[in-house]
Amino acid sequence: MKPLLPDTNVLVYETVEDSPHHEEASEIMDSARAIIIPSIVLHEYLWVMLRRLKVPLDFMLEKVEEYLRDRRVRYVIEPPEMVLDALEWLKTSSTRNLNDFLILSTALRYDAVLATYDEDLRRAAGRLGVELAP
């Protein structure tokens, strides 16, 4: 079974109980046997939760610790080759979202299933042959 790579929106929906996809995101995370969390996803998650949603820092510390201590989770830092791949893909894309291409590069490198609710990211993943969930 392939590892799961949750996009930032999956982590946000899983955390925020009144979010539109909370139950589905929680199920996706709970059912994964292995999870890859790229540094870019964790950084985006913290930014959204702390800056945009104004979630208390103590809660976020607990939540991030929960993710990082989960035996299924592998936290990865994108190496230079993945940054270069993402920049190359950006040249041929109508979007200018480097973060999404870093996430795709990570999914390809680790042969992971990408879980996302972002339609643009889903289309780009399809073009690159990345398996998607949900």
Domains present along the chain, CATH in parentheses = 4-129 (3.40.50.1010)
Predicted local confidence at residue 94, as pLDDT: 67
| Residues pairing with 4 in the sheet | 35, 113
What's the pLDDT tens digit per position in 108-121?
Answer: 999 999 999 999 89
User: Where residue 97 falls among pLDDT bands split at 50, 70, 90?
Assistant: confident
- Better-predicted residue by pLDDT, 85 or 76: 76
Predicted local confidence at residue 58, as pLDDT: 97
Strands (DSSP E) along 15-95, which ranges?
Answer: 35-38, 73-76
> Which of 32, 1, 2, 96 minimizes the C-alpha distance to 11?
32
Max intra-chain CA distance, the chain = 41
The C-alpha R_g of the chain, in whole angstroms, comes to 14
Compute the C-alpha angle 40/6/86, nearest 5°. Answer: 45
Residue 100 in tokens: 């999404």
Contact 28, 10 (CB under 8 A): yes
The percentage of residues in the chain with a pLDDT greater than 70, rounded to a whole number, is 98
pLDDT exceeds 90 at position 18: yes
Q: What is the mean pLDDT of residues 91-105?
A: 83
Q: What is the mean pLDDT of residues 101-112?
A: 94
pLDDT exceeds 80 at position 130: yes
pLDDT exceeds 90 at position 76: yes
What's the pLDDT tens digit per position in 50-72?
Answer: 999 999 999 999 999 999 999 99
